[in-house]
Amino acid sequence: MTLHSEIFEQPERLASLLDRQKQTVIDIAKAIQSHNVSYAFLAARGTSDNAGRYANYLWGAHNGLPLALAAPSLFTYYQSPPRLQNALVVGVSQSGQSPDIVSVLEEGRRQGCLTLAITNLSDSPLAKAADYVLDIQAGEEKAVAATKTYTAELMAIAMLSAALNNSEERWLELGNIPKWAEQTLALDSAIARISERFRYMSQCVVLGRGFNYATAFEWALKLKELTYIIAEPYSSADFQHGPIAMVEGGFPILAVAPTGKVQESMRDMLTRLRQQQDAELVVISDDKDVLSLAQSQIQLPPQIPEWLTPLVSIVPAQLFACHLTKVKGYDTEKPRSITKVTETH
């Protein structure tokens, strides 16, 4: 099992999660609805923190549920946890091993909050600290760089949103995710060729906005941990507030810009970067006009609802990072300085 093969497992794993855990998610949603939950308080690190960014947008937009991303050091080093009255306290961790994430759920329980663990190990310390456990059932992930566990976390977050809304339409839309992911994987060879163009890239910016703000962060993280380049993620809005000044001719900009409410903003930014600043653009989108701005184009399947695009758009980004790692002569299975399980305090 390799990083590349685990990327290709994702359609099957997502379909299985949707099928096997739907009732569990519905039961968790009912428990949330029966409590006086005013907001979600989510603790995570690394890739799982990027899944939390998706939850921030999705649960806010579709469920009216404000979300605060926890600062776990307040619970460990500072021993000064905030008041969590009426919070749904959520821990997201593939391994469920990190003591600082566990400490947030333990404190949530102490304060009488409803607690939920989203994890790939149902008998982990994080799971044992939670009232409810949503096992993402991604199977063993041997590659150090998380791929299938990330999309499974996104699927779990999206399923919970659909259940909280009791929306059959959104459940039906979720059912299309494995098919869309499969279609995107068919671009593997084309993405491998695109990656060769960036053999000598040492720095880049990754742009996304709205639901795909999370995708920008996750794509940048994969590039950092696998190819060791300086990859800085930004909202296209934040990028205008100063960082855009670093762009000069040939500067690489990677962008995720599927059809949706923020696409016009992304299009305007990409037009400026290409026409005025001569940036080197890699764009993931389903829109031909947006793709036409890029020297390197990665086309998503059409008609994906915007709220679900992060589950599909990250797949070509994972492939790009995987192939670029090989092009640069690095080992996709053994990134330097990091291990599969990171335990922070």
DSSP assignment of 7-18: HHTHHHHHHHHH
Q: 277 in a domain, yes or no?
A: yes
pLDDT of 329 > 70? The answer is yes
337 pLDDT tier (thresholds 50, 70, 90): confident
Q: What pLDDT is recorded for position 205?
A: 98
Q: What pLDDT is recorded for position 79?
A: 95
Q: 182 in a domain, yes or no?
A: no
Each residue of 16-42: pLDDT tens digit? 999 999 999 999 999 999 998 999 999
Q: 181 in a domain, yes or no?
A: no
Each residue of 116-136: pLDDT tens digit? 999 999 999 999 999 999 999
Task: Report the percentage of the chain scoring pLDDT > 70.
Answer: 98
DSSP 8-class letter at 69: E
Average pLDDT over residues 97-114: 96
Edge-first strand order for the sheet with 252-256 is 230-235, 203-208, 252-256, 280-285, 296-299
Each residue of 231-278: pLDDT tens digit? 999 999 999 899 999 999 999 999 999 999 999 999 999 999 999 999
Which positions ≥6 away from 169 have C-beta within 8 Å?
Answer: none
pTM: 0.96
Each residue of 149-160: pLDDT tens digit? 999 999 999 999
Do 128 and 221 belong together in one domain? no
Do 277 and 214 belong together in one domain? yes
CATH number of the structural domain spanning residue 85: 3.40.50.10490
Q: What pLDDT is recorded for position 119?
A: 97
The total domain count for the chain is 2
Where a domain ends, among 175, 210, 236? 175
Do 262 and 122 belong together in one domain? no
Q: What pLDDT is recorded for position 204?
A: 98
Average pLDDT over residues 93-111: 96
Where a domain ends, among 122, 149, 175? 175
Do 236 and 322 belong together in one domain? yes
Q: What pLDDT is recorded for position 345?
A: 59
Q: Is position 340 annotated as part of the catalytic site?
A: yes
Do 23 and 146 belong together in one domain? yes
Token pair 């092009």 in the structure block, residue: 327
Q: What pLDDT is recorded for position 341?
A: 60
Do 192 and 161 belong together in one domain? no
**In Å, what is the CA distance from 107 to each residue of 31, 67, 76, 112, 130?**
19, 17, 10, 9, 11
Q: What pLDDT is recorded for position 342?
A: 65
Q: Nearest CA to 140 among 9, 293, 319, 303?
A: 9
336 pLDDT tier (thresholds 50, 70, 90): confident
Mean pLDDT of the chain: 96
Give the residue numbers spanning the domain of 97.
3-175
pLDDT of 168 > 80? The answer is yes
Do 94 and 156 belong together in one domain? yes
Do 262 and 305 belong together in one domain? yes
Each residue of 278-302: pLDDT tens digit? 999 999 999 999 999 999 999 999 9
Do 120 and 214 belong together in one domain? no
Do 316 and 233 belong together in one domain? yes
Q: 345 in a domain, yes or no?
A: no
**In Å, what is the CA distance from 248 to each residue of 185, 251, 252, 296?**
32, 6, 9, 18
pLDDT of 339 > 80? The answer is no
DSSP, collapsed to helix, strand or coil, labels residue 242 as coil
Q: 156 in a domain, yes or no?
A: yes
DSSP, collapsed to helix, strand or coil, labels residue 152 as helix
Do 100 and 203 belong together in one domain? no
Q: 343 in a domain, yes or no?
A: no
Q: Of 142, 261, 334, 340, which is the active-site residue?
A: 340
Where a domain ends, among 129, 145, 175? 175
Q: 333 in a domain, yes or no?
A: no
Do 310 and 199 belong together in one domain? yes
Q: Give phi and psi for 216, each to the nearest 5.
A: -60, -45
pLDDT of 340 > 60? The answer is no
Q: 44 in a domain, yes or no?
A: yes
